[in-house]
Amino acid sequence: MPQPSHRLCHAIALAAFTAASLHARAADSAKVPPPPPTKKIPVVDTYYGIKVTDDYRWLENGSSPAVKAWVAAQNAYTHAYLEQQPQRAKLVQAILAMRREAHPGYGMLETANGHLFAMKFDPQKSSPVLVMFRSPEDRASEHVIADLNTFLNGKPSQPDWYLPSPDGRRVGIALSTGGSEDAALYVLDTATGKQIGEAVPRVNFATGGGSMAWLQDGSGFYYTRYPQGDERPAADRNFYQQVYFHKLGTAPATDRYVAGKNFPRIAETSLAMSPDGKTLLISVANGDGGQFEHFLVRDGGAPVQFTHYSDKVVQAAFGPHGALYLLSRRQSDRGAILRLPAGDTKLADAKTLVTPPGKASLVSAGTGFPILDQTYMVRGSRIYATVIDGGPEEILTFSRDGKPMGKVPTPAVASVSYLLPAGENGLLYSAQTYTTPSAWFRYSGAGQPAALPFKTQTSINLSDIEVRRAFARSKDGTEIPLTILMKKGTPLDGKNPTLITGYGGFGISETPHFAGAFARFWFDQGGILVETNLRGGGEYGESWHRAGMLTKKQNVFDDFAACSQYVIDHHYTAPAHLAAEGGSNGGLLMGAEITQHPQMFRVVLSVVGIYDMLRTELDPNGTFNITEYGTVKNPAQFKALYAYSPYHHVKPHTPYPAVLFVTGDNDHRVNPAHSRKMTAALQAATDSGHPIMLRTSANAGHGFSTNIDEATQEEADIYTFLFAQLGMPFRAQGAQAP
- Could you tell me the sign of the dihedral formed by the alpha carbons of 202, 207, 208, 210, in that order? positive
The angle formed by the CA atoms of residues 113, 115 and 121, to the nearest 5 degrees, is 140
Cβ–Cβ < 8 Å for 587, 671: no
Q: What is the mean pLDDT of the chain?
A: 90
The answer to whether position 662 is within a domain reads: yes
| Residue 225 placed within a domain | yes
129/59 same-domain check: no
The pLDDT score that the predictor gives to residue 9 is 34
The whole-number average pLDDT for the span 321-328 is: 94
Query: What is the structure's pLDDT at 228?
Result: 94
Mean pLDDT over 210-238 rounds to: 95
Is position 39 within any domain? yes
Is the pLDDT confidence value at 5 over 50?
no
pLDDT at 501: 97
Alpha-carbon distance of 124 to 492, in angstroms, equals 38
Q: Worst-scoring range by mean pLDDT, 56-70, 365-379, 427-441?
A: 365-379
Q: How many whole angstroms separate alpha carbon 670 and alpha carbon 665? A: 10
CA–CA gap between residue 524 and residue 685 (Å, rounded) = 36
The more confidently predicted of residues 72 and 708 is 72
- Sheet of 351-354: strand order equals 313-318, 324-328, 336-340, 351-354
Instruction: Report the run of H or E that residue 417 belongs to, with start and end.
Output: strand 414-422
Tell me if 252 sits within 8 A of 259, measured CB to CB.
no
Instruction: Classify burial at 217, counting beta carbons within 10 Å of its beta carbon; exposed 0-12, middle 13-18, buried 19 or more.
Output: exposed
How many Å apart are CA 537 and CA 336, to the nearest integer?
18
pLDDT at residue 700, as a whole number? 64
Answer whether residue 491 is part of any domain.
yes
Residues 510 and 611 reside in one and the same domain: yes
> Is the confidence at residue 10, as pLDDT, over 60?
no
Lowest mean pLDDT, pick from 142-146, 192-196, 274-278, 568-572? 274-278
Orientation angle between helical segments 635-644 and 554-569, nearest 10 degrees: 30
Please tell me the predicted confidence (pLDDT) of residue 219. 97
In a shared domain, residues 160 and 78: no
Q: Report yes or no on 131 lying in a domain.
A: yes
Contacts of 638 (CB under 8 A, 6+ apart): 47, 48, 614, 630, 631, 632
Q: Say if 693 falls within a structural domain.
A: yes
User: What gap in Å lies between CA 318 and CA 300, rounded to an integer?
Assistant: 17
Say if residue 184 is in the same domain as residue 219. yes
Flag the least confident range among 17-21, 261-265, 522-526. Answer: 17-21
- The residue with greater pLDDT, 8 or 472, is 472
The CATH number of residue 40's host domain is 3.40.50.1820
Confidence of residue 16 (pLDDT cuts 50, 70, 90): very low
Q: Say if CB 323 and CB 342 are below 8 A apart.
A: yes
**Comparison of pLDDT for 696 and 706, the residue scoring more:** 696
Residues 669 and 588 in one domain: yes
On whether both 65 and 123 belong to a single domain, the answer is: no
Helix axis angle, 554-569 to 585-596, nearest 10°: 70
Last residue of a domain, one of 240, 261, 282: 261
Q: What is the pLDDT of residues 580-616, one digit of tens each?
A: 999 999 999 999 999 999 999 999 999 999 999 999 9
Q: Which residue has the higher pLDDT, 374 or 451?
A: 451
Spell out the residues 6+ positions from residue 140 whose beta carbon is closer than 8 angstroms to its own.
none
How confident is the model at residue 96, as a pLDDT?
Answer: 86
- pLDDT average, residue stretch 368-377: 62
Instruction: Kindly report the CATH number assigned to the domain that includes residue 210.
Output: 2.130.10.120
* pLDDT the model gives residue 368: 40
Q: Which residues of 694-715 are buried (b: 16+ CB within 10 A; e: fewer)?
A: bbbbebbbbbbbbbbebbbbbb
Residue 732 has pLDDT above 70, yes or no: no
Question: pLDDT value at position 454?
Answer: 86
pLDDT for position 424: 84
Q: Would the pTM count as exceeding 0.85?
A: yes
Q: How far apart are CA 176 and CA 660, in angstroms?
A: 28
In a domain, 278, yes or no: no
505 φ, ψ (degrees, to nearest 5): -175, 160
Point out the domain boundary residue: 205, 236, 261.
261
Residue 669, pLDDT score: 76
Q: Tell me if 414 is assigned to some domain.
A: no
477 vs 706, residue with greater confidence: 477
- According to DSSP, the β-strands at 115-121 and 304-307 are unpaired
Do 68 and 119 belong together in one domain?
A: no
| Residue 736 reports pLDDT greater than 70 | no
* Judgement on whether residues 473 and 614 belong to the same structural domain of the protein: yes
Is residue 604 domain-shared with residue 570, that is, in the same domain? yes
d(CA 162, CA 110): 9
The whole-number average pLDDT for the span 665-680 is: 88
Query: Of all residues in the chain, what percent are helix, strand and coil, respectively (each to 5)?
Result: 25, 30, 45
Determine the 3-state secondary structure of 654 from DSSP: strand
Domain that holds residue 195: 105-261
Same-domain status, 80 and 116: no
29 with 78, same domain?
yes
9 phi and psi angles, rounded to 5 deg: -145, -20
| Tens-place pLDDT, residues 408-466 | 999 999 999 889 998 888 999 999 999 999 999 999 988 999 999 988 888 889 999 99
Contact 193, 163 (CB under 8 A): no
Task: pLDDT band for 702, please (50, 70, 90 cuts).
Answer: low
Q: Return the pLDDT at 13.
A: 33
Q: What domain count does the chain have? A: 2
Domain check: are 57 and 75 in the same one?
Answer: yes
Q: Has residue 403 got a pLDDT over 80? A: yes
- Number of residues assigned to the chain: 738
Domain ends where: 210, 227, 261? Answer: 261
Question: pLDDT digit string (tens) for 496-531?
Answer: 999 999 999 999 999 999 988 778 878 987 899 999
pLDDT 10s digits, 115-148: 999 999 998 888 999 999 999 999 999 999 999 9
Residue 715: C-alpha distances to residues 22, 458, 664, 720, 730 (Å): 10, 20, 14, 8, 14
User: What is the pLDDT confidence band of residue 22, given thresholds at 50, 70 and 90?
Assistant: very low
The whole-number pLDDT of residue 733 equals: 54
